[in-house]
Amino acid sequence: CPCGYYGDPLHECSCNPRDIDRYLKKISGPLLDRIDIHIEVSPVNFDDLKSKDIKVESSKDVSFRVNKCRDIQIERYSEENIFSNSELEGRNVNKYCKIDKEAEEILKNAFDKLGLSARAYNKILKVSRTIADLDKSKNIKSLHILEAIQYRSMDRKYFSI
């Protein structure tokens, strides 16, 4: 919204509904569809920042996991002239992003409830494939689909039907 506090749990939005609606319409559905992952990050409480109970993964560990994931994708697509899951298109999405019936039902429900486009559907499948790769899972599971759907928060919160 224009004031920047719409949806903020710590600050009250001072905008009227018409201004919020007009502001949200600045981001078209087709533009939003082209973004693989969109999430909101909530403000952090100071006490949480200084807490010793928070487990932090080191940059070295994250880098190792990401590089392993990239290796999996390079090997998988070695004969396709594709470098990563994000480059999958059309028939390759169907070939490499197979899901079981349970995951399909979850995705169908999200598709219907959120009014997702075909492009958003494919983005969710490709992100799910990456989540499965990070999880060292050969198959995309329901939990991977559920996590990928969570990364479509703009669809869910502001643009659902």
Per-residue pLDDT tens digits for 29-44: 788 888 889 887 777 7
Is 137 within the bounds of a domain?
Answer: yes
Domain that holds residue 42: 35-157
pLDDT recorded at residue 73: 97
Number of structural domains the chain divides into: 1
Residue 10 domain-assigned (yes or no): no
Tell me the whole-structure pTM to 2 decimals: 0.82
Rg (Cα) of the chain, in Å, rounded? 18
Determine, yes or no, domain membership for 123.
yes
What does the alpha-carbon distance between residue 2 and residue 4 come to, in Å, rounded to a whole number?
Answer: 5
- Predicted local confidence at residue 155, as pLDDT: 65
The reply to whether 87 falls in a domain is yes
Lowest mean pLDDT among 2-11, 85-94, 126-135: 2-11
- Condensed to tens digits (0 to 9), the pLDDT of residues 112-141 reads 888 888 888 999 999 999 999 999 999 999
